[in-house]
Chains A and B, each alone.
Chain A
Amino acid sequence: MPKVVVEYMLRFRDLTGKDKDEVTLSGRCTVKDLINVLQEIYGEDFKREFYNPSGDEIGGNVLVIVNDKVLTNKDLDMKLVDGDVVTLTYVVFGG
């Protein structure tokens, strides 16, 4: 059962009220599974924030980084392993 660290930035931090979580995954251990676990903890708002309106792809402004890798939709089924750091943030660049 892998234990992963989830870092929250910007509105994800506001939604969860935390900088980070440690989540132990059981059963399937993909990124999508992690999001399902977080949705159970933090509710529908979390899901709405993460996914696009149709609910099957990463939202347009959401940025998911696992360790050093920026994820795309096809990576949602990527398996997470013990010690992975998952960062949830947004596509942001200053003006």
Chain B
Amino acid sequence: MLHGYSSRILKVNLTTCSVVREELPEQYLKDYIGGLGLGARLYYDLVPPYVEPLSPENAVLLMTGPIQGTLIPGSGRGLFISKSPLTNRFFSSNFGGYLTRELKRAGYDGIVITGKSDKPLLLVVDDDNVEIRDASKLWGMNTYEVQNEIKEMLGDKRFQVACIGPAGENLVRITAIIHDIHAAGRGGIAAVLGYKKLKAIAVRGSKEVEVAYPDEVLEFFKEISKKARNHPFLVKYGTPAVMETVNKLGGLGTRNWQTEVFEGASKISGQTTIPKYKVKDLACSSCSIGCVKVQEVREGKYAGIWAKGPEYETLYALGSLTGVDDFPSIVVAARNCDELGLDTISTGVVIAFAMEACERGILTKEECDGLEINFGNGNTLVELVRRVGYRKGWLGNLLAEGVDRAAKVIGCGSQFFAMHFKGLELAGHSPRAVKAWTLGYSVGWRGGSHHDARPHDIEYANPVEVRAFSIEGKPELIRDTTLRVMVEESLISCRFYGGYYGVRLPTEVHSKIIKMVTGWEPTVNELTITAERIRNLIRVLEVREGFDSVADSNPPLRVLYEPIPEGPSRGARTDPREFKLMLRSFYELMGWDVRTGVPKEEKLRELGLDFAIGYCRRV
């Protein structure tokens, strides 16, 4: 028997309001680890191809991995998995906090939600007692209100809650699921819950998660925590401190990526704002870094309003990308996103897109519903967030569809500056200044997510040669970091512990973690094969719906054809021919057909994925 796991999942059907507990085969746990890997397999088993994201047949999975609920540093993470209504693809959205620790303590490795209700519902998991309750009076509440209301209603603040806000209820495609003040931000899975009429999930558990070697886990916790407390910036400033350095490198998306140098970067950087606005630090379960900083506006019309972070990604999307350097406006926009249940990255990208479209005269004043829309306008930023969350007005309703769909409706060449990969709005990591990112985003299963591959640490942390602008070695780098991410996302380990566990390929530390927790000790080679298995299974989920090399070959046109106009990365773009070379080389390394990007039969067989070969043959 493997330790660490609960070895069972909850299956909840909202149409019939039924709950089933199902045992997980041990081989599934060894073959797919947990989190992303196990979730992908369960999704594959359950959801056939071409299911509409907003349909009863689509499933939403809340997943844990083996380490949640243990002392392993960085284990305070979880995943929501579904088919995204934004990208129409298999999608996973990672979040922090205490929810998955609680779910493990309640005795489950995951919850699988299918069906659709006619009236709003609340799922309450309290150890073995699982209830589906009416949530009519919770419908319409924002995410912070509803969490408080549920804890009040259940009479115990220890309940951990994940919920959707008005944006999810309104089926906005760029929504986030909110847990505490953390967000499963990307991919719009909250809209799937909104369609299913599931307002929230509340979880409380009382069981200890047993690990195979508790003494070793404790020692490991002490050792890593000591190192983590000495992190050069996350402990003191969190991710907001990143702004200035990224700007200094000339890779900070600014005014919808028209440039990558933001003159207001130091005004909104954590180094400037944390000493002035920070009111508290927060940490997820089993974390001694505590990267979450809560900042509160102290003066002016927004005085008293606080927000989580705003994190680097939010400062990029709602700040430099919209040209807004007024920190209080960014705090308010971020808070509104969290309360409405919107993804701050996608929201910032669609607003920046609208700003550029207005400045270029593509959107008329009538289409802007009377709003003065221009870069740098903090009032417009705050107002547009609200309009997107409620689908208010013609433009609010259009932007709620995401930037890809919005550009297709607006036309007039606006697709050139619709900044997304595979329908997912671009995160704050430059695909022009760091060319490996163009490939990383393109071959990621999600698209514009900065968590599918993680090349940047290595691109700059190389004291021998800085190669961010070249394409040499990039396919190998993206292959390697993708495989590492497969292990991290399946353990569900925080990226900020990557520096201690491994930044390129799966390592002996990952292997040791699995051994200490589960008692099963895969070799690094076995772990790498497992990572390949998971990525290939996800690739099958892509290609069975027609997403092959064609879908991988569409970076934003601005990335391919418009060089960065100024700053340290001036002149950088990703040449389409270079991109093609990187892509083919990546496919070759992965054992995929270099022309179609479809996994080869022998590769699937080698990984024990024989059952999925049929989908690839058809392609």
- Please list the residues of chain A having a beta carbon within 8 angstroms of any beta carbon in chain B: 9-11, 13-14, 52, 57-58, 60-61, 63, 65, 68-70, 72-74, 87, 89-95
Contacts and interface: CB of A to CB of B under 8 A. Distances in A.
B311 A9 contact: no
B514 to A, nearest CB: 23
B232 interface: yes
Contact of B461 (A9, A61, A89): A61
Interface string B482-514: 000000000000111001000000000000000
A60 B463 contact: yes
B464 A10 contact: no
B239 A61 contact: no
Given A90-B233, A94-B239, A70 B466 contact: yes
A10 B463 contact: no
28 contacts: A10-B232, A10-B233, A13-B271, A14-B236, A58-B463, A63-B245, A63-B460, A65-B248, A68-B250, A68-B570, A69-B568, A70-B460, A70-B466, A72-B463, A72-B465, A74-B464, A89-B244, A91-B461, A92-B241, A93-B312, A93-B429, A93-B450, A94-B239, A94-B428, A95-B239, A95-B291, A95-B313, A95-B495
B460 A91 contact: yes
Interface string B446-466: 000010000011001111111
Contact of B233 (A52, A58, A69, A92): A92
B463 A57 contact: yes
Contacts of A95: 239, 291, 311-313, 494-496
A37 to B, nearest CB: 21
Given A72-B465, A92-B245, A10 B311 contact: no
A70 B312 CA distance: 22
Nearest to B313: A94
A87 B461 CA distance: 15
Interface string B200-244: 000000000000000000000000000000001100110101101
A95 B289 CA distance: 13
A60 B271 CA distance: 22
A93 B466 contact: no
Contacts of B248: 9, 65, 87, 89
B279 interface: no
Nearest to A52: B463
A90 B460 CA distance: 9
A10 B271 CA distance: 7
Nearest to B459: A91
A89 to B, nearest CB: 5
Given A61-B461, A74-B464, A94-B242, 6 more contacts: A14-B236, A68-B568, A92-B242, A93-B246, A94-B312, A95-B495
Nearest to A76: B463
